[in-house]
Every structure is written in C-alpha cells, then in structure tokens.
Structure 1
C-alpha cells in the first residue's frame, strides 16, 4: 500500500521549507512569498495528491471543524436523510465537516463523542440526561433538541403528536376500534414505544376500546397475518408507525382480497414521497419536518457563533393529516 504523502514530501518537491508549505496552504497573513513559489507548492500538492492532516489543522486552529450527528441505530428514514443533507449543506458552506455515528448499545455516547472530538454534538436520537453529563465534562457543546430535558421533551412530544393526529382523523371518519401497526425491529422502539403508549392513553381517555397493537416484520406474510388479527378483533382502522408499515398493511389487505378504506382504513406517518404512489394513495401525517430542521440548523449555527439562537421551537400541534384515499 502506498505511503500517504506528507508536508515534508511537498516541501522537498517544491524546493522549499515545510514552514513555507504550511504558510501557503493555510494562507497565513503577514508572509511575503513570491507567486512562483506558491505555484510550485500547489503544483507539488496536486502531483502528490497531498491532503492536509485534520488533526494538525485542529491543533493549528485550536478547535475541531467537525460537527457530530448522533443517529438512531436504525434504518434512516426520508425525513432523517433530508435533515442530514440540509445540515451538511449549510455547515459545509461555513467551513465545517459533518460526520455521523449511530448510537449503539455497545458503545457509550461519551466514548463515541471522545473518539471524534467534535466542536459540537447534535443528537438526533434520544439521549438521556445521564448520558449527557459525561459529555458536558468533556466541555463539548451538545445541542439538546432531543434530550430528556426537565421541562419539554421535544422528541417525545412529536412522537405523541403524530398518534394524536392519526386518532383524531380516524375518529372523525367514524372509527372507534383501532389497530396499530408497530415493528419487530427493536432499534425502532424509541419511536414505537412512545407512540404505542400515547395511543393507549388516548383511547382510554376517549372511551374507545383498547387498541390492537400488532408488530409487523415487514414481510407479505406478516402483514397478511396482522390484517387477519385485526379483522377478527373487529378493528376498522389502523394507524401505522410510519408510511413503510402502512404500505405493508395495504399489502396485507390485498392478500385477503380486501381494500382500504372500504374494509379497513389505513393512515401512515412521516409523509414519505412513496405514499402518494400507493394503491390506494396513502393518507399520512406530515409532522412539518421543515420547521424542525430549520430549528436544528439555526441552533447549531448559534452554538458556532454563526447566527442568532431561534426564539421558539416548532409546536407538535402543527402536525397535520395529508388526506388521500386510504381513509
């Protein structure tokens, strides 16, 4: 394997000192270096394929240029993908590099952060107060958009808001006996658990029957089995964890020669693009992700002294139903 070129190699090829190479590559002010010398150095960099060391740059600047995103240890949804793309686009424009790591059970959040040494940590998975304390001891700023704060837990508020909007829509359509399409993927429990709990609470509060919760494996057989369970229990409408699970329910209905909404109404969540192409087109919940994305970005910029802190957070109540033909 070829050795990675160093600043010494660049200096030797250009016939200058390593310090001169550093001055040119970093545009150090106050140096009188001729244009031909600068050209030779840049030509050597291009020919050798030299890439400056990130650790050396961090030592020079006195700070890292990394922003760390902590993601759930699960398949990334369309909303998360859009959020990551937007954060990357904005921060790269300010000279920062965005990296992400998954929050895994076998690695503490503090160790994950320490291994990267970022300038800011942005948790996009649930991070508890207990997990945050060691990070504060590392004196690394951590955005608390989705932390377990004492006053408002924005993360769980939005999970609960999704279910409330789903239930309200189905009840308005005349349904009382509801089902919930959950998941067998334990990595998604941080989404499924609060939604299931809120669904049960709402049904009890409204005097509705206990909802029938079924975990789907996202296979045609599992979806068909789930529909059979709901039909036997008298369920007339199903709220799904997300649009993917809602599409599975539609598949399960077709396997029994049934359809939505005539035989069973189905509502998804997250307003994924694919939902509008379902048969029938899928009713879903739009959590107004753009507002949350802009909040996250504005908060990050404020922590980097690149903007003002946002005055208000998006309200969970802003979630809305995108009505299509499945309900």
Structure 2
C-alpha cells in the first residue's frame, strides 16, 4: 500500500523523489532498492513497496547519469556456446529476469565456433574477436558456460567478476560456480535402468571438452561399478546426425552383446540414437531403451517420449545473475549446486 500523493497525470516525468513520496521512504532508500544495493540496509517489505511504487508510476532510473556517477555500465555478459541451444536460451531468460529487477542489462554472446570437440583443436584465444572495443570499459561482469571457456581470456581479461556455469566447483579462488547436479542426474539414470534389469549399456557421450560432460561420465561409471553391468562409451559431436552415426555403428558392432540401453549426454544425442535404432529395425523401448539429459522440448516431441534428466535451466540463469550481483557487492558465496530430476517417460522399459 502506498502512502504519498501521486503526481498529477501528464505533468512531468516521474522522479525518484516521486517514488520516495509514494512509498513513504527516503530517496536514499529508493536508490538502494532500485540499484540492487538494499539487502541488509532496507527491510524486504519496504523494498517491495518501493518497487511497487516505481511500477505504479512507470518510473525508470536515468541509467546514463547513474552510470557516470558510479563508474558502472550495469551490464553483464552471458557467454554461451550457441544461440540455437534451447537450454542456454532458458538460462538467458532466467538471468534476464533477475537483471531486470536490478536495472541491469544482459548482453548475450555466443562463442564463434560453438562447442569445442574434445579431440579437436580449440581456437587460440587471440583469434577470438572481442565483441567490445574494451570489455573492461563496457561490462561490469561475466557469466559464462564452461563449454565456452576458451573465449574468456579475450573477453574477461583479469579484472572483471566472473560466475561460471556448469563448471568445476574447485576451479580456484575468485570464481563463483553455479551448477546443476549433473552427477546426481547420471546416478538417477543408472539406478532407473538397473532397476529395469539392464546390464548391457552404451554411453553416447558428448565429444566436448567440458567439466559438465566429464562429471557425467565419471558419475555414470561410478554408479555402475560393482553392479555387474557392462558400459561401453561412444563419443559424438552435439548434433542429431553425428549422434545417429555413432549410435548406429556402436549398436551394429559384432563380437559382443548388443546394448539394451543407450544413455545419452543430452536430448539431441538421444534423438540421434532413436534414429539409429529405427534404421537398424529396433523398437524403442521393446528392443532398446534410450535416455537423454536436459529435458528440452524435443524430449516430448519424439515418439515414444524421452526419459531424461530435467535440468533447472532458468534457475541456473537466475542463480548465476544473483551470484554476479553479489560479487559486485563484494560477496562471494560457496559453490551453488541445484537439484535435478529424472523424468521417466516411454523410451525406457525392461530389456528384451
């Protein structure tokens, strides 16, 4: 509920003084709340009252003037492997949601070559074009996926606060990490398939040099150790066609029992595995179970629908932006790990 008199409609552009009068607080409190500096200084109920008054008045801070005063652009850079990946689109949406509340902008920058194959040559950092004439002058901080880590030397330099997504929590001092619990996602997948009776399994692994995929592979191997299950690994680039080719080769190999389950590092690889099964005349899930990772829209577009690990992509973006705001305030928290969930659908069943 607001307390002050509203300025007559159409008389002048709303100011922070108007917001303060409507909310019944000082202009200093308005500046703290709308500048994202209120925690520990302004009560949450008061902060919400200020935001409500600003919305009611249609007040927008003069960012240019404020930035000149603060020596800040209030701009964060989000570095992702590719704009076409639905997962990172959701991450961006979550980051933007938090940024908007604090008067920040988010610049989205995809790496020039997408993800780097694990067995290919990464582009030299010097060859990556800086999207800004001077990143230090144009940005307040960086949020980056570990899948795009190769460009950070160029984009970040040594001075900007950094939050890493899908990155090793032990990366080192001065770096905040926000991760989905991908290791637990693989453990849940392994337990599900073991409970169905599967013992011959194929891991269709992403051919990308990234901590997140290394963590998945290690967790899967650990979860199957001592169970009597056999695990073979085939790597494929992140694409439906490379995945189809790799899975078709692995499923068609002679000299050892054919896998009864294919565990894929993401849903796109799983779609390729499903295409391979159809080409080989295998029915899913009667002859072959397939699991994915991410729970993209694709997971319910295929038939049968895909059993997959749901990652909280928007929450990862939200937590990443919150961690960056905290870092800009001089606060660095412990590694942030978000829970994941195995969503069981029609692509898994007991083995033949």
TM-score range, shorter chain: 0.5 to 0.7
Matched positions, count = 271
Equivalent residue, structure 2, for 1:284: 308
Q: Is the 8 A contact 2:90 2:314 kept in 1?
A: no
Q: Measure how far apart 1:103 and its partner are.
A: 4.9
Give the number of the structure whose residues are more often strand, by fraction: 2
Q: Is the 8 A contact 1:182 1:215 kept in 2?
A: yes
Once residues 157 and 88 of structure 1 are traced to their aligned partners in structure 2, the CA distance between those partners, rounded to angstroms, is: 19
Q: Supply the RMSD in Å over aligned alpha carbons.
A: 4.2
Once residues 250 and 303 of structure 1 are traced to their aligned partners in structure 2, the CA distance between those partners, rounded to angstroms, is: 43
Once residues 334 and 218 of structure 2 are traced to their aligned partners in structure 1, the CA distance between those partners, rounded to angstroms, is: 31
Determine whether 1:141 maps to 2:169.
no
Equivalent residue, structure 1, for 2:43: none
Equivalent residue, structure 1, for 2:9: none
SS in 1 for 2:285: coil
Q: 1:240 to 1:126 in 2, by over 3 A?
A: closer
Q: 1:201 to 1:113 in 2, by over 3 A?
A: farther
Q: Is the 8 A contact 2:146 2:165 kept in 1?
A: no
Q: How does 1:64-103 map to 2 (within 5 A)?
A: 64-72=73-81, 74=82, 76-103=84-111
Q: TM-score, normalised by structure 1?
A: 0.66
Once residues 215 and 64 of structure 1 are traced to their aligned partners in structure 2, the CA distance between those partners, rounded to angstroms, is: 41
Equivalent residue, structure 1, for 2:229: 208
* 1:110-145 alpha-carbon deviations (Å, 9 max, x no partner): x778832211222222688xx78x95842x222355
Q: Measure how far apart 1:266 and its partner are.
A: 0.4
Once residues 114 and 57 of structure 1 are traced to their aligned partners in structure 2, the CA distance between those partners, rounded to angstroms, is: 22
Once residues 69 and 79 of structure 1 are traced to their aligned partners in structure 2, the CA distance between those partners, rounded to angstroms, is: 13
* 1:250-302 alpha-carbon deviations (Å, 9 max, x no partner): 11111222211111000111011221121111111112334433322332333
Structure 1 residues not aligned, in runs of 5+: 1-23, 30-53
User: Which among 271, 277, 296 is matched to residue 253 of structure 1?
Assistant: 277
Q: Measure how far apart 1:146 and its partner are.
A: 5.0
Q: How does 1:1-327 map to 2 (within 5 A)?
A: 59=68, 61-72=70-81, 74=82, 76-103=84-111, 105-107=123-125, 115-117=134-136, 118-125=139-146, 137-138=158-159, 140-144=160-164, 146-150=166-170, 158-183=181-206, 188-190=208-210, 191-215=212-236, 218=239, 223=244, 226-232=247-253, 233=256, 234-305=258-329, 313-315=336-338, 318-327=339-348
The structure whose Rg is larger is 1
Q: 1:221 to 1:148 in 2, by over 3 A?
A: closer
Q: TM-score, normalised by structure 2?
A: 0.62
Q: Measure how far apart 1:57 and its partner are.
A: 8.0
Once residues 264 and 220 of structure 2 are traced to their aligned partners in structure 1, the CA distance between those partners, rounded to angstroms, is: 11
Once residues 277 and 167 of structure 1 are traced to their aligned partners in structure 2, the CA distance between those partners, rounded to angstroms, is: 24
Once residues 218 and 143 of structure 1 are traced to their aligned partners in structure 2, the CA distance between those partners, rounded to angstroms, is: 27
Q: Measure how far apart 1:147 and its partner are.
A: 5.0
